[in-house]
Amino acid sequence: MLKRTVPLALAALWTTLASADEAEIKKAMEAKLGAKVESVTKSGYLGLYEIYADGNILYTDEKMTAFIAGGQLIEGKTMKNVTEERMRKLTAIKFSELPLDRAIKQVRGDGKRVLATFEDPNCGYCKRLAKDLQKLDNVTIYTFLYPILSEDSIRKSKQIWCAADRSRAWNDWMVDGRAPAGKDDCDTSAIVKNQEFGRRLNISGTPTIFFADGERVPGAVPLPKIEQKLSQLK
């Protein structure tokens, strides 16, 4: 019995000490950064702690004598990008919590596969993504108008949102280059709410894609990778 109890007690003690260390580092880092630190976790490499704050990951030692910011932590044996993998987990959301009523909905085929995008109508990478997404079948796409590039982006977003057929107006512009020419004076509060919601999610660039499992992928992801991810979620 004692042989079982001692390891359990040591494990509990280690967990308590580790939590205390992480709490101390979190408090000190918040003072240094002047910002809220979301989490502090042992990275498992070189004695480094992973600091997640303001949508970014940085690393430090337990005494905070030096910091690694903006770099990628790569595992030597497998060459796995540890930072990228952790970012996917840390930035994941609950897809069910997305305000889908504020998105342009497009259904193709049986619509069983689902993804959501945050896009600016003047974003070149978004236009490339929009053309690629035309090739997807059996999918439901929710596009959140997220104008962050210019005043013209806001104007175009409003015109698209006010169109009688929003998905057609969106594709006319993003895929075929036919600029929206309709009114922009309907209820466009959804766009403002999308901007506020996106800022809370730390969405700083477009396009940003969310898959049904909550994984976030920034940038214009190549179509084969989107297909691969959607197939994994079946």
Same-domain status, 122 and 199: yes
Same domain as 120, residue 224: yes
C-alpha to C-alpha distance for 189 and 157, rounded to whole angstroms: 11
pLDDT (tens place) for every residue of the chain, 234 residues total: 445 544 443 344 334 434 558 888 888 888 888 888 989 989 989 889 999 998 889 999 888 888 888 889 999 989 989 888 888 888 889 999 999 999 999 999 999 999 999 999 999 999 999 999 999 999 999 999 999 999 999 999 999 999 999 999 999 999 999 999 889 999 999 999 999 999 999 899 999 999 999 999 998 899 999 999 999 987
Q: How many domains would you assign to the chain?
A: 2
CATH number of the structural domain spanning residue 73 = 3.10.450.70
3-class DSSP state for residue 28? Answer: helix
C-beta of residue 178 within 8 angstroms of C-beta of residue 156: no
Q: Are residues 84 and 112 in the same domain?
A: no
Whether residue 207 has a cis bond before it, omega within 30° of 0 = yes
Q: Within this chain, do residues 15 and 110 fall inside the same structural domain, yes or no?
A: no
What gap in Å lies between CA 49 and CA 40, rounded to an integer? Answer: 7
Q: What is the CATH number of the domain that holds 227?
A: 3.40.30.10
**E strands, the chain, in order:** 37-42, 49-53, 56-60, 67-69, 104-108, 113-119, 139-145, 208-211, 216-218
Full domain range(s) for residue 205:
95-232
Query: Whole-model pTM?
Result: 0.77
